Amino acid sequence: MSLGVGAVLFVGIAVGSLHPDLKSPEIVYVLGQALFVYTVGLAAGPAFVASLRRDGMRNNVLIACALLGAGILCLVLKKTLGLSAGVAAGMFAGSLTTSPALAAVLDTIKQTAMSEQLDRLLAEPVVGFSVTYPIGVIGVVLAIMLAQRIWKVDYQAEAASLRGHEDDTSKNVTCTFKIHQLAPPGSTVAELGALHSWKVLFGRIKRGDEFFMATPHTKLADGDLVMAVGDPEELALVAKAFGERRRDIRIDRTEYEYRRIFVSNPTVVGQTIGQLNLKERFGEVVTEVRRGDDAYQPRAEMVLELGDLVRVLAHRDHMEEVSAFFGNSYRKVSEVDIMTFSFGLVLGLCVGLIPFPFPGGGTLKLGFAGGPLIVALILGTYGRMGGMVWTLPYSVNMTVRQIGLTLFLASIGTRAGYTFFQTLSRGGGLSIFLAGAAITFLASLTVLFIGYRFMKIPMSYLSGMIAGMHTQIAVLGYAKDQTGNDFPDQGYASVYPVATIGKIILVHIIVSSPW
């Protein structure tokens, strides 16, 4: 197994254990966390909204039930081990690795404790948190590793299934067909596609000595040579309908050509391929869209993002105009729009500071993680508002996200390291550590078992949900290393808001419970 960037946390704990003052300033932790969750939210916004329409409610109910079970177990362990309310609340926050919940505990204690007891009471949650935080990370990683080995998870097959057959272009090929007997005669490209449910893309057509582009309204005729792109199984169905598949025919490229073009024009970003009216403008066909390491077959409802690499087929006379329309600037897709990025991030930080009244007294704040995430999910879903483009190019988003993750892990590690080892050296941390491990493993394995075996949630998505339930970006990094795709980001963002708010509510109940 490999922890990847998550190893920064444990190096930070080792460094922080050397001296109580050897720790990074709090602003480093806050900035790193905010940068990470904000960029995750921007990238996962559309997927989060789509998941709510499909199965997001089901997934969030699963996470909420697992958290409730973890809260009940924490109260049982508190009673059994004779732990104080503060230590138990910190243990719950640490075993589920949620810093906002720890902050909520400390805020509650500040509002309710007597002044002469304040310092002692404030230290208790920190001890419980620091002792259980490492196992809160390692335990989840071990649970995911155990589950994927027991069930022999095929992440590549899952990724293809999640993207959908029509989106996966990894196996696409191009070939030419000759129409011998078209049925029904005079059918258009759109009519044949609807009749046979073909998931292929038609390109150029040769009729006699004439070349032209296929459009949905193009009427096909016997004797036409038609080029098509798609999965081999789908192309076999086309060949069966047209009557002949010609591998040896190559249509002359003197008039039409292919080119890969970067999407860097802000006016194009945030619009669907259908809204661009490409065929009417240039007679152009987009045959593939690459986003990061993933390739997609374009559909009319697909929204283009900064940094997308589109493969277009257009007339040679129009190709330069098409390139200018999309932008095709590698430099621009490597830049950050400082105004929109900083404005959205600051807006998220401000939302995190808003106090929401809590039943029974006190307030609830989303904090510097929840606020930026909620705002980023909204802005990422819209993509653009007028001339302001909220999304980031894929490469920029990944770079900023990695910087934020590293800052966060290094900071939280150094800040918790000394207290962690001091508690263990006094001999009072073993029972807290084991209790936290029980909470971590129970919550993680429950979600993994029920989600994968009974609810049939793909592990690529489920591992991100586990990271979101623990609000743990180190686990998310590990999940992405294992899956080799970005679907854990979607699972993470789909449950993170509910998990964050749910844990803040539960930790408030634990610290206030007389039981």
207 with 116, same domain: the answer is no
Q: Tell me how crowded residue 515 is: count the other CB atoms within 10 A of its CB.
A: 8
433 with 400, same domain: the answer is yes
Question: In this structure, is residue 466 part of a structural domain?
Answer: yes
88 with 183, same domain: the answer is no
Question: In this structure, is residue 305 part of a structural domain?
Answer: no
Between CA 190 and CA 228 the distance in angstroms is 14
CATH number for position 226: 3.30.70.1450
- Closest of 183, 174, 177 to residue 225, by C-alpha: 177
Put simply, whether the predicted model's pTM sits higher than 0.95 gets the answer no
- The beta-carbon contacts of 244-249 under 8 Å, at least 24 apart in sequence, are 244/177, 244/178, 244/179, 244/180, 245/175, 245/176, 245/177, 246/175, 246/176, 246/177, 246/178, 247/175, 247/176, 249/176, 249/178, 249/225
198 with 69, same domain: the answer is no
89 with 17, same domain: the answer is yes
Is residue 32 within 8 Å of 406, Cβ to Cβ? Answer: yes
- Closest of 401, 369, 416, 391 to residue 477, by C-alpha: 401
Determine the 3-state secondary structure of 121 from DSSP.
Answer: helix
* 328, 329, 330, 334: CA torsion to nearest 10: -120
53 with 196, same domain: the answer is no
Question: In this structure, is residue 311 part of a structural domain?
Answer: no
Burial of 387 from C-beta contacts in 10 A (0-12 / 13-18 / 19+): exposed
Residues in contact with 135: Cβ distance below 8 Å, sequence separation at least 6, in sequence order? 95, 433, 436, 437, 440
CA distances from 285 to 156, 214, 252, 299, 329 (A): 29, 9, 17, 11, 20
122 with 199, same domain: the answer is no
φ, ψ at 310 (rounded to 5°): -100, 140
Which domain does 212 fall in, by range? Answer: 173-230
Between CA 494 and CA 390 the distance in angstroms is 19
Q: Which of 230, 254, 269 is the last residue of a domain?
A: 230
Number of domains in the chain: 2
Q: Which of 192, 213, 230 is the last residue of a domain?
A: 230
Per-residue pLDDT tens digits of the chain, which is 515 residues long: 455 666 787 788 788 888 888 888 878 878 887 888 788 788 777 766 666 666 678 888 999 999 999 999 999 999 998 888 888 988 998 898 876 677 667 766 766 666 666 666 766 787 788 788 878 888 898 999 999 889 888 887 877 776 654 445 556 677 788 888 788 888 888 888 888 888 787 877 878 777 777 777 788 888 888 878 777 777 888 887 887 665 544 545 566 677 888 888 878 877 788 788 777 677 667 878 887 766 777 777 777 877 788 888 777 777 888 888 888 877 777 777 788 899 999 999 998 888 877 666 666 677 777 788 789 888 888 877 877 888 888 778 888 888 888 887 788 778 767 776 776 676 667 888 899 999 999 999 999 999 999 998 989 889 989 988 987 777 887 888 888 877 887 788 778 777 877 887 888 788 877 67
177 with 94, same domain: the answer is no
Q: Which of 182, 207, 230 is the last residue of a domain?
A: 230
487 with 404, same domain: the answer is yes
Question: In this structure, is residue 112 part of a structural domain?
Answer: yes
Is residue 137 within 8 Å of 6, Cβ to Cβ? Answer: yes
88 with 188, same domain: the answer is no
Question: In this structure, is residue 496 part of a structural domain?
Answer: yes
